[in-house]
A and B are shown apart, each in its own frame.
Chain A
Amino acid sequence: MTLTLDAPQLVDTRPLLLARHVSKTYGNVQALNDVSATVYPGEVLGIVGESGSGKSTFLRCLNLEETPDSGSYTLDLPDVGGNLFDLDRYARRMLCATRIGIVYQNPHLGLLMKHSSSGNVAERLLVAGERRFHTLRDKARDALDASEFPLDRMDAPPIELSGGMQQRVQLAKAIALEPALLLLDEPTTGLDVSVQALVLDTLKRLQQERRITMVIVSHDLGVIRTLADRVMVMRGGRVVEEGLADQIFQDPQAAYTQQLVHAKL
């Protein structure tokens, strides 16, 4: 009952991220079924869906932690060509360490909990080839500061920090090398409401000031509404619907999206 949309006419930049027809099965479970996504430079794509919708699996594919059964994934960056799913382990690791940042829901996945917070951030810089101690420390401090981490605690190990602080260390680690793409997997889930607001505000500010391209996965529609320019709705491994964030929330087309939006408190 609605018109189909044209290809972009005014925006002449190419998409930064193009994922096409990505499918993945685990045993007889189809986790991803022909999922495609396009993200333009500076854009924030939000992915919503219930547990088991495939949204986190898709994000792990974008972080090259998973290899799908079929599909392609390209990033429009200098020296980065071809289908990234075809890269070997070493090339994937280098690409992720230098061009893609990720913040996991569980800080244990993203951080060495007993090393210092500054060391966790510096590790990312070491992988990229930085060896000078003072530069490492300065850059780690800058990244922690941009993530609004209190610098007097920068040498404390994450295990001694609160959940909100741990997320800030993850964020600092993710942005230390100014990544072309920042992936966020339920970054505020499990945090209490006031800390959630702080983390959201930090993300929004980073997005506005640095124009970092982001893909954020969350089951929390409020988080997506605050951060995302565009929203992709997933269910059962498929994309149900996608559109501008306000359109998805105000004029959802699919029955499932209507249920999801109307179920929000």
Chain B
Amino acid sequence: MTRVLDVRGLSKGFTMHHLERHMAAFQNISFTLDAGRFLLLKGQNGAGKSSLLRTLYRSYLAGSGEILFHSAHGVIDLARAADVDVTLLRQTEIGFVTQFLTARPRVSAEALVAEPLRRAGRPLDDALAEARHWLKTFGVKPDLWAAYPTTFSGGEQQKVNLARALILPQRLLLLDEPTASLDAGARAALVQRLAELKAGGTAMIGVFHHPGDVAQLIDTEIDLTPDDKLHEDQPHVAL
């Protein structure tokens, strides 16, 4: 099996200066992940599931530990990688699907979805055609393809978001509750697309409110709820 990720002793906390407090998000997490495997993150609210995904994506800075990502260019520690390296990997190898669409003013749904392909050098017509295919697959009505998603309903925005995030296969895909606010049809399309990507070798780490949605994809699980609910007793460490 091709290794994609080695996470060793990873911890993250937040220093909230206005409260003069440090709050732990998760502590001492270690796991490995191979190509084509699906890891489910479980745990009660506030256990740090989304925080772990964001730390892997480097939207959050790690406090300690290592995130060794086996990229096409070699192994790199995402916890310490230079910003430019992270930007490059996000464009080519690491995808992140959130619950929220970052729509931009005056950019149509189809243009937004086609962007990752355009960045990868695909001609405009070709990229737009594929974008429409995925919008259709996720159940966005053709009338809306050329409209601006800022005006869409939450569910429609989420479909646009999924089409954009899953249009290009990645080496590592991070999924933060992608099924939230989706109707049954879109959920089925999502699961099918994830299965396709997984079969193609994409390694996935996901947080799902209803893990049953993706039950057939899950290979391993990590429960982030602390054993003795340590975090509930001493969630804050004085600075």
Contact = CB atoms under 8 A, between A and B. Distances in A.
Interface stretch (B57-65, B175-183, B195-203, B221-229): B57-65
Contact of A10 (B13, B14, B15, B88): B88
B190 to A, nearest CB: 23
Contacts of A229: 87
Interface stretch (A21-29, A62-70, A105-113, A200-208): A200-208
Tell me which of B13, B71, B105 has the highest count of chain A C-beta atoms within 10 A of its own C-beta: B105
B83 interface: yes
Contacts of B17: 254-255, 258-259
A259 B16 CA distance: 10
Given A6-B82, A8-B85, A208-B115, A247 B64 contact: no
B77 interface: yes
B22 interface: yes
Contact of B82 (A9, A198, A258): A9
* Interface range, A side: 20 to 34
Contacts of B105: 197-198, 200-201
A1 interface: yes
Contacts of A11: 82, 84-85, 88
A197 B103 CA distance: 12
Nearest to A259: B18
A201 B81 CA distance: 30
B135 interface: no
B73 A10 contact: yes
Contacts, number: 97
Contacts of A197: 105-106
Nearest to A13: B84
B71 A208 contact: no
B71 A201 contact: no
Nearest to A15: B84
A5 B71 contact: no
Contact of A244 (B13, B59, B74, B77): B59
Interface in B149-180: none
B59 A3 contact: no
Given A244-B59, A251-B60, A1 B22 contact: yes
Interface string B83-124: 111111100000000000000111100000001001100000
Contacts of B59: 244, 246-247, 250-251
A168 interface: no
A236 interface: no
Given A1-B63, A9-B74, A247-B58, A253 B15 contact: yes
Contact of B60 (A9, A201, A247): A247
A9 B68 CA distance: 13
Given A9-B85, A259-B18, A1 B58 contact: no
Interface string B5-23: 0000000011111100010
A207 to B, nearest CB: 11
A45 to B, nearest CB: 10
Contact of B81 (A9, A200, A258): A9
B35 interface: no
A150 to B, nearest CB: 16
Interface of B: 13-18, 22, 54, 58-64, 71, 73-74, 76-77, 79-89, 104-107, 115, 118-119
24 contacts: A1-B13, A1-B15, A3-B63, A3-B79, A3-B80, A5-B83, A6-B81, A6-B82, A9-B82, A10-B74, A11-B82, A201-B104, A201-B105, A201-B107, A208-B118, A230-B83, A243-B83, A244-B58, A247-B58, A253-B15, A254-B17, A258-B16, A258-B18, A262-B18
